[in-house]
Amino acid sequence: MSEQRSPKPLLSVRNLNGWYGESHVLHGVDFDVNEGEVVTLLGRNGAGKTSTLLAIMGILGKRSGTVTYRGTEIINMQPRQIARLGIAICPEERGIFASLNVDENLMLPPRIADGGLSLERIFDLFPNLKERRRSQGTKLSGGEQQMLAIARILRTGAHLLLLDEPTEGLAPVIVQQIGRTIAALKKEGFTIVLVEQNFRFAASVADRHYVVDQGKVVDMIPNSDLDANIDKLHAYLGV
């Protein structure tokens, strides 16, 4: 876990500690994400993957350490300020608003910079959403809700996407579709941090994998070395 690439990473996390109330859940997380990469945080349930994303986004109640995005220190910023720098989150519970229809959900996050995807391109990636624009957000299937949760952060101009278990609880065919979408987004130039428990899915989309255990990053495996490290990874994930 010593890898440092040049030039400077887009996102750099150092000695990140985080707490839920009194409960200390992150114990010094370190990792880097380079421009244009897809990086996963792999780990067991409760390892601290989601908490890491929430801490980067400024949502976790109490946090310390260093998180820099494009060289700017963001550890003490409010979530809305962090969002305005170009980081967007797709939360684990998807966060689709029940009182908003699909269109309203899609248009909700404000544009924070140029360069977001156009609606046409978004509907190109997620044709189902186009047919259901007037439906209430939570009336969509689980897969469609996941697509909506990803789609709405693509038009804002955010550049770093934090995706929290986008495949959780979805049918294999939908998982494949989300995999293709992530590959397409990488081609479009987005940088993605993906939290996953499904490492087969992670292997199909990511450049590098950070293994999180007990609130720390304990290993980094480039995707190209995954086969050679598969036993080690099984041990980490307890599978």
Partner 1 sequence: MFELLGIPPQALLGQLLLGLINGSFYAVLSLGLAVIFGLLNIINFAHGALYMMGAFVAWMLLNYAGIGYWPALILAPLIVGVFGIVLERLMLSRLYHLDHLYGLLLTFGLALIIQGLFRNYYGISGLPYRIPDALSGGYNLGFMFLPKYRGWVVVASLVVCFGTWFMIEKTRLGAYLRAATENPVLVGAFGVNVPLMIMLTYGFGVALAGFAGVLAAPIYSVNPNMGADLIIVVFAVVVIGGMGSIMGAILTGYFLGLIEGLTRVFYPEGSAVVIFVIMAIVLLFKPEGLFGRAA
- String marking each residue 134-153 x if it binds partner 1 according to CB under 8 A: -------------------x
* Total binding residues toward partner 1, as defined by CB under 8 A: 25
18-77 residues in contact with partner 1 (CB under 8 A) are 57-59
Residue type, 95: G
- Is 154 or 211 the residue whose CB approaches partner 1 more closely? 154
Rounded-to-integer distance, Cα 20 and Cα 26, Å? 9
CA 230 to chain CA mean position, Å: 23
| The pair of three-digit structure tokens given for residue 173, joined into one six-digit string | 């065919």
Q: Which of 100, 184, 220, 237 lies at the binding interface for partner 1 (CB under 8 A)?
A: 100
Cβ of 131: how many Cβ atoms within 10 Å?
11
Which residues make Cβ contacts (< 8 Å) with residue 33, sequence separation at least 6?
Answer: 9, 10, 11, 12, 39, 160, 191, 193
At 190 the three-state DSSP class reads coil
- Is 28 or 95 the residue whose CB approaches partner 1 more closely? 95
> First CA to last CA across the chain, in angstroms?
22
155-184 residues in contact with partner 1 (CB under 8 A) are 156
Q: How is the beta sheet containing 23-33 ordered, strand by strand?
A: 23-33, 11-20, 62-69, 72-73
Q: Which of 67, 83, 194, 205 lies at the binding interface for partner 1 (CB under 8 A)?
A: 83
- Is 88 or 174 the residue whose CB approaches partner 1 more closely? 88
- Is 66 or 78 the residue whose CB approaches partner 1 more closely? 78
Q: Which of 75, 77, 107, 226 lies at the binding interface for partner 1 (CB under 8 A)?
A: 107
What are the residues binding partner 1 (CB under 8 A)?
57-59, 78-80, 82-84, 88-89, 91, 95, 97-100, 104, 107-110, 112, 153, 156
